[in-house]
């Protein structure tokens, strides 16, 4: 959520910031701004609401003048509506110290800090929590700190919440200082210039060397170098990691949207996962488990948010069925607040595309403090969650730019499927049975590819759905989470209200919504023993004149009588083993959401109000 880019020491500072912000557009935002200091230390700021192009136009119309230091931000509104007043950077000061700040996260105690700073003479102009930051730091500079790093260290002790911010002192054009707590912030290292960013992608092509800050680190960058101090204020060395970001700059490669490109990348993603995490000869899973003793696992918590939580639910079905270990799946925003018990031998699994999701990270830290072994499934192995884990499973999906997740979701399900088998093997499931399921997984890339080559039936349905104001999605067994994911996708990008239920729950309330105007998407596979029950549920919809849409496999389609077929819209997927059904049934729902959204003309890659990486609770 939001984007931070800071540059010091480069004469192209402003352009680097603006280009970096463009690369971070996928994270979600509703306003943007940039500030720089001229040769004499004078501050210039430009802000705009809406797409980043509005800021680019503003800078082009009102140039900022030459500078070697600049600070930029894309804002996703929390405190205060999107406006130029509330957009970052924010400037404030006390006495001789005037500071400019960009900030991700939330300062939870900002109201009391506002009152305290107002009593010292602070003049607040915005509705944001961020505006308290420069004043609190300026107060520290005035009363107790000799350097900016010391002032930020002292000020950070007053802030409650999760945050990452970078501060620039007006009149001093040779350094920036930043810190983080629960929100990502890294340093790009180069010769004669250094950089801050909330995501390394912002600096692709500028540098390949990065330092990832730990919570409450204070970092000062200048053209001459980087200094990092830990939470105690002592100098500390953080490792410099070299990242290859070249593939992340590949663009849409001829596709109309990043989402469509990422849907089509799924066969390659699954192939990469299977090549990396299974043996070629014995067909056994080889996920890196570090020191984790799988045979000793007695209970598993899988914690995630949004799309990742639905992948976790698929993982629960497979783990419990094949490894016979009880699994609790819970949304991260609720997990730690009920102070859950952690049984001996328990394993905590966090699933997150970005590895920075604030709610999931907070739950992870809660479990880690309780002594749980931490396993993380993430697409970003340099993320906060990955660094906090005992073992990390790389989703290997590559950079996902579209806000609505597609290839990362499939990667999560595929890797969780392999984990279920690896855990089952450690608990005695035969190699023969495991190899059968891996053989099924290896057919998955072809099944996905075949579905992507014939989307005409989905196009026809999507054009019909543009008139819908509400939809219902139903599924049983391991397809219930896929129904939830399908409903989420149509909400996210087509802006159609949708609810999802386990099919058997439809009669316990949702059936009251069914009428001739309600499309009801039913998912049913012939291979899980639940097909007839699902048909009974769709008959209940049919009896109430609901618009029945059935997605089933080719064998399931043959089981329908003529009367039933005539009453519904039928879409088919390949008949596959139940073990891989969730991944196969996911594809038409992704395509349907995409086609419906494009038919409605919505912003598919950057839907309104959403952020790719939600770094606030």
Catalytic residues: 2, 612
Token pair belonging to 15: 């352009």
> Residues 227, 203: contact at Cβ < 8 Å?
no
Nearest to 223 by CA among 187, 191, 179: 191
Q: Where are the beta strands (DSSP E) in 62-160?
A: 69-75, 90-94, 97-107
Query: Which residues are within 8 A (CB) of 280 and not within 5 positions of it... i.e. 6 or more apart?
Result: none
Residues pairing with 319 in the sheet: none
Kind and range of the H or E run holding 555: helix 554-558
> Three-state SS string across 369-426, please?
HCCCEEEEEECCCCCHHHHHCCEEEECCCCCCCCCCCCHHHHHHHHHHHHHHHHHHHH
The values of phi and psi at residue 53, to 5°, are -55, -30
Burial label for 127, CB within 10 Å (0-12, 13-18, 19+), is middle
> Residues 614, 357: contact at Cβ < 8 Å?
yes
Centroid of chain to Cα 533: 35
Query: Which residues are within 8 A (CB) of 356 and not within 5 positions of it... i.e. 6 or more apart?
Result: 183, 184, 380, 383, 384, 385, 613, 615
Query: Which residues are within 8 A (CB) of 23 and not within 5 positions of it... i.e. 6 or more apart?
Result: 199, 201, 202, 204, 249
Token pair belonging to 121: 């003479």
């Amino acid at each position: 959520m939001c984007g931070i880019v800071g540059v010091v020491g480069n004469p192209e500072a402003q352009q680097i910031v603006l280009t970096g912000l463009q690369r971070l557009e996928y994270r979600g935002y509703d306003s943007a701004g940039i500030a720089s200091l001229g040769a004499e230390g004078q501050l210039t700021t430009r802000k705009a609401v809406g797409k980043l192009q509005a800021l680019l136009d503003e800078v082009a119309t009102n140039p900022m003048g030459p500078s070697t230091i600049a600070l930029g931000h894309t804002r996703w509104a929390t405190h205060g509506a999107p406006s130029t007043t509330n957009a970052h950077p924010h400037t404030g000061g006390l006495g001789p110290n005037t500071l400019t700040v960009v900030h991700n996260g939330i300062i939870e105690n900002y109201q009391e800090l506002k009152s305290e700073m107002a009593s010292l003479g602070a003049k607040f102009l915005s509705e944001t929590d961020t505006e308290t930051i420069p004043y609190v730091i300026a107060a520290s500079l005035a009363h107790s700190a000799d350097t900016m790093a010391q002032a930020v260290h002292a000020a950070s002790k007053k802030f409650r919440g999760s945050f990452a911010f970078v501060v620039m002192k007006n009149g001093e054009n040779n350094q920036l200082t930043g810190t983080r707590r629960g929100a990502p912030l890294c340093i790009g290292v180069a010769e004669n210039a250094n950089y801050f960013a909330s995501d390394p992608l912002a600096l692709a092509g500028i540098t390949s060397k990065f330092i990832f800050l730990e919570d409450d680190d204070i970092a000062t960058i200048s053209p001459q170098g980087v200094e990092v101090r830990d939470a105690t204020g002592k100098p500390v060395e953080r490792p410099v990691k070299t990242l290859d970001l070249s593939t992340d700059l590949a663009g849409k490669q001829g596709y109309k949207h990043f989402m469509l490109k990422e849907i089509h990348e799924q066969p390659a993603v699954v192939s990469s996962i299977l090549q990396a995490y299974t043996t070629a000869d014995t067909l056994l899973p080889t996920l890196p488990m570090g020191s984790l003793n799988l045979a000793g696992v007695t209970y598993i918590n899988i914690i995630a948010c949004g799309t990742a939580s639905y992948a976790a639910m698929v993982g629960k079905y497979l783990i419990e069925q094949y490894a016979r270990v009880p699994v609790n799946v819970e949304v991260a925003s609720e997990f730690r607040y009920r102070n859950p018990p952690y049984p001996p031998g328990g394993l905590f699994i966090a699933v997150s595309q970005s590895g920075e999701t604030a709610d999931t990270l907070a739950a992870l830290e809660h479990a880690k403090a309780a002594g749980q072994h931490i396993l993380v499934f993430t697409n970003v192995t340099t993320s906060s969650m990955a660094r906090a884990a005992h073992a990390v499973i790389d989703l290997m999906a590559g950079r996902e730019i579209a806000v609505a997740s597609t290839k990362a979701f499939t990667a999560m399900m595929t890797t969780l499927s392999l984990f279920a088998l690896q855990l089952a093997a450690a608990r005695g499931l035969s190699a023969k049975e495991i190899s059968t399921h891996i053989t099924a997984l290896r057919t998955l890339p072809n099944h996905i590819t075949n579905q992507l080559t014939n989307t005409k039936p989905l196009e026809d349905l999507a054009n019909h759905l543009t008139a819908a104001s509400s939809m219902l999605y139903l599924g049983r067994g391991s397809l219930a989470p896929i129904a939830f994911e399908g409903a989420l996708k149509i909400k996210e990008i087509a802006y159609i209200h949708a609810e999802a239920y386990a099919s058997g729950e439809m009669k316990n309330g949702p059936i009251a919504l069914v009428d001739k105007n309600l499309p009801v998407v039913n998912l049913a596979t012939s291979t899980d023993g639940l097909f007839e029950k699902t048909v009974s549920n769709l008959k209940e919809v049919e009896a109430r004149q609901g618009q029945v849409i059935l997605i089933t496999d080719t064998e399931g389609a043959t089981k329908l009588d003529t009367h039933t077929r005539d009453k519904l819209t039928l879409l088919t997927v390949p008949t596959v083993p139940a073990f891989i059904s969730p991944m196969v049934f996911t594809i038409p729902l992704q395509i349907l959401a995409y086609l419906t959204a494009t038919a409605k003309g919505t912003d598919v890659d950057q839907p309104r109000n959403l952020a790719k990486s939600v770094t606030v609770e």
